[in-house]
Structures are given as structure tokens and as C-alpha cells.
């Protein structure tokens, strides 16, 4: 057999290894998080794992995650606000006192 005819070995690519690593990190984190009425928040997972939010959202929408028995679902609606959504304080700032 020549090199071109040999079948490729099933070595995982970097992307596949990253997917497996992220999945494992998410599954482990979920076991340590507080569960309220069978629900875990995406914000809790995000804080625990520090995985970028977009990647985390993508992984949690998949059906291949193994959830613990006490977790029925994951709430994908985030309660973390964007900077534009934070209200400015209505308190007046004090003027500095004049010296003298």
C-alpha cells in the first residue's frame, strides 16, 4: 500500500478535543452549582466555568450534555445586563465646597 491508500487514523482534531474539553467542564460545573426546582441558570455556569458566553450558549443548546439527576433543565435566559441596559443613578452629585 502506498501512503495515499492507507486509511487515516482516528486521531481527534483540535476542534474535537476542544469540544470534549468544554463539554466535560460544563458537565462537571453543573454538578457543583445550586439547583432551584430542577433548574440551573446559564449565568451560574458562566461564572463557574469562565467559558465565553457565546460558546457556553452554543453548548447548552445541544442535546448531548449529560445532566445530573437533580437537574431537569438549564435556563438559557441570562439575567446579566449589557452596559447599555444599566440605568444611570438619579442621585445628584454634590458640588465641591468653595474654599475660603
Q: What is the pLDDT of residues 1-45, one digit of tens each?
A: 555 565 565 665 668 888 899 999 999 999 999 999 999 999 999
Q: Please state the pTM of the whole predicted model.
A: 0.65
How far apart CA 64 and CA 42 sit, in angstroms, is: 16
Contact yes or no for 58/46 (Cβ under 8 A): no
Cα angle, residue 67 at apex, residues 41 and 11 outer, rounded to 5°: 115
The answer to whether residue 53 scores a pLDDT higher than 90 is no
Q: What are phi and psi of 36, to 5 degrees?
A: -115, 115
How far apart CA 29 and CA 66 sit, in angstroms, is: 12
How far apart CA 72 and CA 75 sit, in angstroms, is: 10
Amino acid at each position: 500500500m502506498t501512503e495515499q491508500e492507507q486509511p487515516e487514523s482516528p486521531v481527534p482534531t483540535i476542534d474535537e478535543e476542544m469540544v470534549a474539553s468544554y463539554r466535560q467542564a460544563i458537565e462537571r460545573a453543573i454538578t457543583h452549582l445550586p439547583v432551584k426546582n430542577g433548574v440551573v441558570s446559564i449565568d451560574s455556569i458562566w461564572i463557574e466555568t469562565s467559558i465565553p458566553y457565546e460558546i457556553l450558549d452554543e453548548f447548552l443548546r445541544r442535546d448531548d450534555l449529560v445532566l445530573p439527576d437533580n437537574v431537569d433543565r438549564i435556563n438559557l435566559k441570562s439575567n446579566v445586563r449589557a452596559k447599555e441596559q444599566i440605568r444611570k443613578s438619579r442621585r445628584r452629585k454634590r458640588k465641591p465646597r468653595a474654599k475660603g
